[in-house]
A and B are shown apart, each in its own frame.
Chain A
C-alpha cells in the first residue's frame, strides 16, 4: 500500500505541475504535451518514456487496489460479529479511505476515457491538442462535477495516506509526527488546489 501509494503520489505532483501550464496559453500547454512524448530522445524512441510511466502507474494502481482489497477482506474476517453500538474514534479522511479509493479508481477510468482516448469526451476529441480538449471537457457541468468531487476525494485520501505510508515504512515516530501530519495536509491541500485550479480556470474564463 505504502510503496505503490507513494509512487502514485510522486506522479501526481508532476502531473499537477504539468497541468498548471494550461494557464500560460495553448502554445506552452500543447508543447508540454508534446514534450512528454519526446522526453528521453534520442535514447528513447518517441513516446517510450510515456509508456514506461504508464506501465509503472498501472502496476502501482493494481498493486494498491489488490492490497486494499486484501486488507479489507482480512479486516472483515477478523471482525465477523459487529458491535451493537460502537463509537467511531478515527477521523473522516481515515474512514473514507476505502470508498474514497473506489471513487478515485472510477475517476481514473473516466479521466483516461475523457482526455487520453477521448471516448467519453464532449465536443469532439482532438488528438495532439490537449489545450482545446481540456477547455471542452470543463465546459460541461458534469465534467466539472466529476473532476472536482474526485479531487476533493483525492485530498482526503492523501491526508491519511501519506502519513500512513510513513508509518508503514517505519519513517514516523513521536518526534516526527507533527512534521509528517503537516506535510500530509500540505500535500493534500496543494494537490487538490492545483488540480481544481484548472476547471475553475475554465469556468471563470481565464482559460478558454
Chain B
C-alpha cells in the first residue's frame, strides 16, 4: 500500500506546531498502525530527518500508552487501540490525518506525545483502596455478588488511554473518572472510601482543567474498552449520594 500521511509535528511544548505531509510506500495491510509509523520513521531517519515521536508500549491493547486521533477518530476508525488498528482498515492511496490528543489538561510534549499525568493525579486523589499489606487475603473471605463483580470488572477494563477526553467536544474526563470510581465503589473492598473517593476524584478532575460533561456521548463511542456512557450516570449518582451524606455529617 502507498499512503499519504499528514502528521502533526511540534518540536516541543513551546513550539506552535503544524501538519506535515509524508509519503509512505510498501505498507502491508497486516501491519499495525504503529508499525506503519515505524516504517515512516525508518525512512525519515535514513533521510536524516527527525522521526515522528509517538507514545506506545505493550502494542497489544492493554497498557493505554498509545493514543493518536486518526482521521478525526480517537484510536482510528475501529473500536480498538491504535496499536491494534491494522492497515487493512485503510485503502491504498488514502490520505490519513494523524493528530495528538487535544486537551488543555493533556499538553503536547512533542509531535504526537501528550502529557497524561493529569490522569495519574486523579487516580492519586482516590483511585485506590485501603488494604492491609502482607499475604493476599483468602479469596472467599469477602463475598462479592456476581452482578457487582461484573460491573466492577467492566469498569476495571479502562486502561486510562485518554481517548474519552480526546473525543469529547468539551475535553471532559468524565468517562475515565467514572470508570475508576465505579470500579472500586461497587466492591466491598472499596466501601471505606466510597464517599471520599468520588468527591476527591471529581474535585481533582475539575482542578486539572478538564471540561464539563454535556452528555454528548462521544467518549463512550471512542472508548477502545467499551466503558458505557451509563458509567457517567452511575458516578453522578455516587457523587450526589456522597454530597448528601457529607452535608448530613
Contacts and interface: CB of A to CB of B under 8 A. Distances in A.
Interface of A: 70-71, 74-90, 94-95, 97, 160, 163-164, 166-174, 177
Given A71-B170, A78-B103, A83 B72 contact: yes
Given A81-B102, A171-B237, A177-B230, 19 more contacts: A71-B214, A74-B212, A75-B170, A75-B211, A75-B214, A78-B105, A79-B169, A79-B211, A80-B104, A84-B8, A85-B97, A87-B71, A88-B218, A89-B167, A166-B233, A167-B215, A167-B236, A169-B240, A170-B233
Contact of A85 (B72, B215, B234): B72
Contacts of A168: 215, 236
B112 interface: no
A111 B110 CA distance: 53
Contacts of A90: 169, 216-218
9 shortest interchain CB distances as A-B pairs: A170-B237, A75-B170, A78-B171, A78-B211, A89-B218, A87-B72, A79-B171, A75-B211, A90-B216
Contact of A97 (B73, B214, B217): B214
9 contacts: A71-B214, A77-B209, A84-B97, A87-B72, A90-B218, A94-B216, A166-B233, A170-B237, A173-B233
Nearest to B97: A85
Contacts of B228: 174
B217 A94 contact: yes
Interface in B68-89: 69, 71-73
Most buried by B among A76, A171, A172, A177: A172
Interface residues of B, number: 41
Given A75-B169, A75-B212, A172 B72 contact: no
A164 B215 contact: yes
B210 interface: yes
Contacts of A71: 170, 212, 214
B97 A170 contact: no
Contacts of A78: 103-105, 170-172, 209-211
Interface in B202-228: 209-212, 214-218, 221-222, 228
A27 B167 CA distance: 56
Contacts of A87: 71-73
Contacts of B218: 88-90
B232 interface: yes
Most buried by B among A78, A89, A163, A170: A78
Nearest to A79: B171
B19 interface: yes
Interface in B115-147: none
Contacts of B195: none
A174 B232 CA distance: 11
A167 B229 CA distance: 9
A26 B134 CA distance: 82
B230 A172 contact: yes
Contacts of A76: 211
A84 B104 contact: no
Contacts of B73: 87
A70 B239 CA distance: 20
B214 A94 contact: yes
Contacts of A77: 104, 209, 211
Given A87-B72, A94-B217, A82 B102 contact: yes
B99 interface: yes
Contacts of A79: 102-104, 169-171, 211
Contacts of A84: 6, 8, 19, 97, 99
Contacts of B103: 78-79
Contacts of B214: 71, 75, 94, 97, 164
Interface string B1-31: 0000010100000000001000000000000
Contacts of B239: 170
A74 B214 CA distance: 11
